[in-house]
Each structure stands twice: as structure tokens, then as C-alpha cells.
Amino acid sequence: MHLLLAAHADGAALQRLTHLGAPDPDAPGPRILSAAELPAVVSALERQRPRWIWHRTQDWYPALLAAGVELERCYDLSLCGAILAHSEFTAHTAYARATEKLTADDDVQQPPRALQPPPPPADQGALFDAPGPRATARHSPEELRAEYAAQQEALAGVAPDGDRRRQRLQLLLAAESAAAMIAAEMQHTGVPWREELHERILADYLGPRPAAGHRPAKLEALTGELRRLLHSPALNPDSPQELMRALHRNGIEVKSTRQWELKESTHPAIEPLLAHKKLARLHAANGWAWLDAWVKGGRFRPEYVVGGVVSGRWASRGGGALQIPRQIRGAVHADPGHKLIVADASQLEPRVLVALAQDSKMAAAARDKDLYAGIAAQGFGGDRAKAKVALLGAIYGATTGESGRLMPQLARTYPRAVGYVEHAAREGEAGRTVTTRLGRSSPPPSERWRQSQQSATAEEQRRADALARSRGRFTRNFVVQGSAADWAACWLAELRRRLRTLRAGGGPSGELVFFLHDEVMVHCPVDAVDACVRAIEESAAAARELLFGRIPVEFPVSIAVVDSYDHAK
């Protein structure tokens, strides 16, 4: 059963649809519900295991969770539409063509579309950039129904190699929608956070909590030392402009205040300056103001943004959920009688490359061992460090320095793996798009990028070549990072399903409370640890098979069962 939820002036409009998006002939009209009625009605309908269809999961699911209603599955029109509009698999469909025309010319008249997928980002190299705020729009049931029908039509039109590509794209849409539910559930549950431990950590690093508007004692002491050593009595080391002027006046000729550049100087002010930068970063990012704003009732509840990066990786909005620094991880602590299970997929992106390229020799190197050690034994005389530099250089496009020197050896030993990313780079340099395993495609080049390639002078040609190489580095990494994000989404969805099954069976289970690219954290009672560990490992194996079938490539998961996050690694 497919149930559409749309916003309505009186609360919500609920409508049954066929799997293709037509109104269900047995219940053709929307049912109007008040906000007060909605949780009970949704809870009763959930017993029939419907697929809920809505504009954005974040618009509906948090309120339902707050009312005690947990759902099994959904279809997020906004997330799925963004994938279908830009995927190579559906590029020839009317759905994608309409989006392309609207992006190119807002005045072109097109059939009505309730949701317009976002245009490709202006910065085509924004592989790691997080999104800005997004407004919530209200759409009628008919608009959303038409949008769902259009998306299903686009999915049905996948070609060539339609069946296989369609299955992959369906998997991606299901995993992306499940991820949106997981993000809402993790925000609702929150990361277990001991405020008194956080306070103690801050006191150890910075000194007692200062009065509002004042520096902590240890930062104030370092500021005084810097003023003395740099002969600048009024220096504010938090001001980059003031700091650069003070450094230059003292003969420290640096172009920035980055750590690696400062370390090249032997001036006595450098050591306290580096210490100041480290503590100032902690104070600004996760100090007392952050603690007061973001941790309530022993839980940290950030907003996660699913698919917030063009490769499919998550981002977060507020609170820095994806950047919990090591200094404060001790505050992430299990409740009494509980444990934290922290699991990360070891060397995920390199192993994804092995599977994508179907490189049997590199697969053998990765079997039952550390991937880099296996590569080192096969082609780098046992030098693991060189093997790691070479392989990561191939994935990220580092073709100069040590990576560039080692690349020929890597290419000779593993021509299929290196050839795969090299092909992706050439596609990007030529202005074409590349696609992840499940069908998420890279943004096309911007019009400014295309114009740059129409060079006339030698100087313009050099600039155009540099821009082309930069785009090649982007597409080279996109296919690997994006396919790793595909795998991680399936891992999360499978793990959520298994944890729900444990709860439904009446046994002890845990809750997903944190996710970072290739790492998950489950908070569970002590007697549920073994079952949750099995669920994590089985979900990783299932994700591998969902993406790649039965292949001889392992995706091992490192697991730590701890009381606090700082003990996990």
C-alpha cells in the first residue's frame, strides 16, 4: 500500500495511491486530518506496512516520532527527485529533460512539476561542501501525486540495460529514503552525552568556565605570552589580520597561519601560537557555549542532511555533528547498563574501487588482511606506507610528488583499478559526467567551465587545462566516494532493519545514534551487545552483495564495544 501525506490548511491530507502514483480507485479522494488526529491514524495504518510518500521526511517524521510513532519505510520525493533528475540512467527521460530545460531557461514553459530538483552547484568541485538552509514549501496532494507518478515513469524508462540499471536505481532511492528516516530517528534519539564529563574536559584543557565575554584562563595566559614574544601589547591572536602583521613585524615571513607553514619557523612564539590555535578552536567549536546550546537532557541532537554533498555523503546543519573532535569524545558516554558499539568499515573507498574495477589481483591483496599491506607485498617490496600513498593518490588524483613517482608501479601491478579511476578522470576533463555504482551522477560542468575551454591565447589554454585537470580530479574521486556512499546507505538501511527485527522479536536491541561516512554508533543494553554486533557485521555483508553481488572482495568492519567514544580508537 502506498500512502501520500501532504500539508493541508487543516493539518494533513492523506491519500492512497497505486504503485505507479495514480489515485487508488477504492479510495480516490484525499482524507483530511487535523494535526491532533494524525499520529493515531498513521500509527493504525502502519500495521498494514505501507510505504509513506511525502515531500521531505524532515517535514513529517520528527513530529510523528515525538508522538511515539515509528514508521518502517517511506519514499522521499525531494531526495529521490534530485537523484532521478541528474542520473545518467534517466538522462533521456522526460523527467530529466524537463529539469534540464528549466535549469537552462526559467522562462521555458514545461508541464507542471510540483518539485523542482536543485540545479547543479555552481562550484563543480564541491565534493565536500555542506548545503545551506532550505525553506519548506507547501504542495497540494495533487501536485505531490503527479510528482510521484512522474518519478515512477522516469524509473520505468531507464535504458539501456534497463532491468539491471533500474534495479540499482530503485535500490538507491530506497536506501536514500531509508537514510532520511534514520537521520530523523538519530536526531530524535540523540547521541548519549555526559555534560559533567564535557565540563571536566573543558576545565582540563582551558581552565574554569570564564565569565561571558572573557577568555578562559589558559587561553588568556597564552595570549599574554604571545603579546610578550611578538612585542605586541594589544595583540588579539584571534584576529588573523592582527596576527599576520605581528608575525611579519617579528621577521616571521609566512603567507598564512596554517599549522604546517608556522612549523617551518623556529621563532619562540610559534609553539605557544600553535597551542593557542588548538585551544581556541576547541573553545569556539565545542566550548561552554556549544554545550549550553546543543546538549539537553544528556543528549546531543543535531540535524543531519542526507545527500547533503553531491557525492551522496551526509552533511549536518548546526552543532558540527560530523566533526566531533577527539578532545571531547570522552563526553560521548553510554548510559548506565549500556554500551556504545562503534563500527567502521576499514579502508572503505579503496575496497570499493577494487569492486568497481573488478581487479582480481587487488582483491587477492585485500583478502584476509590489511589492503595496503597486501598491495605492498605484491608490488612495493613490503613497504606499506608507499602502497597507501600510491593507492590514495590514484583515488584522489595526487599525481605529483611521492604519489606521482609511485603511480607507474601501481598501474603496472593493478592496471584495472588504476584504469578505472583514470577513465573517470578523462571523462571529467572532457566535460562529461560520471556515475556511482547505484546511479547517482556527478553534476555537469557549469557554463563558465564550458566557456573556459574555448581558449584563444596560450595563457587561456593553460588556465583551461588546469580547470580541466581539476574537474578530472573531482570525477576521479566522485565515482569512488559516491559508490562508497551508496554502500554506506545500504549498510545503514540494512542495520536499521535488523535492529527493528530484534525489537519486534521481543529480544534486547540497540539504537543507531551516530553516523559518519563509514562509521556507525549503536547505543544498546549490555545484554544486546552480541546481537547488535552480529547485526552490524551481517548488514555490511548484505550491503556488499546488494551493490556488487557475490564477489571475492571483503568489506571488513572494525568493531569496538566501549563505555565512551574516546576509547573506540
CATH number at residue 394: 1.10.150.20
Cβ-contact 314, 515 below 8 angstroms = yes
**For position 133, what pLDDT does the model report?**
43
Residues 494 and 447 both lie in one domain: no
Please identify which residue in the block is written with the cell numbers 555552481. 122
DSSP state of 540: H
Residues 392 and 538 both lie in one domain: no
Is residue 431, in this structure, part of any structural domain at all? yes
Phi and psi of 414, rounded to 5°? -130, 70
Is residue 297, in this structure, part of any structural domain at all? no
Residues 356 and 466 both lie in one domain: yes
How many alpha carbons lie under 13 Å from residue 192 in its C-beta half-sphere? 22
**For position 117, what pLDDT does the model report?**
58
Taking the C-alpha atoms of 138, 141, 147 and 149 in order, what is their torsion angle to the nearest 10 degrees?
170
Residues 270 and 364 both lie in one domain: no
The b/e string for 400-420 (b: 16+ C-beta within 10 A; e otherwise) is eeebeebbeebeebbebbbeb
Is residue 513, in this structure, part of any structural domain at all? yes
- Per the structure, the complete domain to which residue 328 belongs is given by 304-347+486-567
Is residue 457, in this structure, part of any structural domain at all? yes
Residues 20 and 109 both lie in one domain: yes
Q: How far apart are CA 202 and CA 189, in angstroms?
A: 25
What is the crossing angle of helices 384-396 and 415-429, to 10°? 30
- Last residue in a domain, options 292, 313, 333: 292
State which residues of the chain have pLDDT below 70: 101-137
What is the crossing angle of helices 77-86 and 94-104, to 10°? 80
Measured at the alpha carbon of residue 295, what is the angle toward residues 305 and 63, in degrees to the nearest 5? 50
DSSP string, 188-200: HH-EEB-HHHHHH
CATH number at residue 559: 3.30.70.370
Distance of CA 524 to CAs 334, 342, 513, 539, Å?
A: 8, 11, 10, 17
C-alpha cell at 79: 531526495
**How many other CB atoms are there within 10 angstroms of residue 109's CB atom?**
7
Cβ-contact 417, 359 below 8 angstroms = yes
Is residue 78, in this structure, part of any structural domain at all? yes
Closest CA to 140 of 235, 51, 236, 9: 9
SS3 32: strand
Closest CA to 101 of 117, 88, 89: 117
pTM across the whole model:
0.91
Tell me the residue type at 304. Answer: Y
**For position 456, what pLDDT does the model report?**
77
SS3 569: coil
Q: How far apart are CA 254 and CA 263, in angstroms?
A: 10
Residues 466 and 502 both lie in one domain: no
- Last residue in a domain, options 464, 481, 498: 481
Residues 6+ apart with CB under 8 A from 21: 2, 145, 146, 148, 149, 150, 151, 152
**For position 318, what pLDDT does the model report?**
78
Is residue 299, in this structure, part of any structural domain at all? no
C-alpha cell at 295: 546538549
- Last residue in a domain, options 481, 502, 532: 481
Residues 285 and 206 both lie in one domain: yes
What is the number of structural domains in the chain? 4
Residues 508 and 461 both lie in one domain: no
**For position 558, what pLDDT does the model report?**
95
Is residue 517, in this structure, part of any structural domain at all? yes
Residues 355 and 465 both lie in one domain: yes
**For position 109, what pLDDT does the model report?**
35
Is residue 145, in this structure, part of any structural domain at all? yes
Residues 116 and 16 both lie in one domain: yes
Residues 280 and 421 both lie in one domain: no
Tell me the residue type at 436. Answer: T
Residues 180 and 199 both lie in one domain: no
By CB atoms closer than 10 A (0-12, 13-18, 19+), residue 220 is: middle
**How many other CB atoms are there within 10 angstroms of residue 435's CB atom?**
23
CATH number at residue 254: 1.20.1060
**For position 135, what pLDDT does the model report?**
44
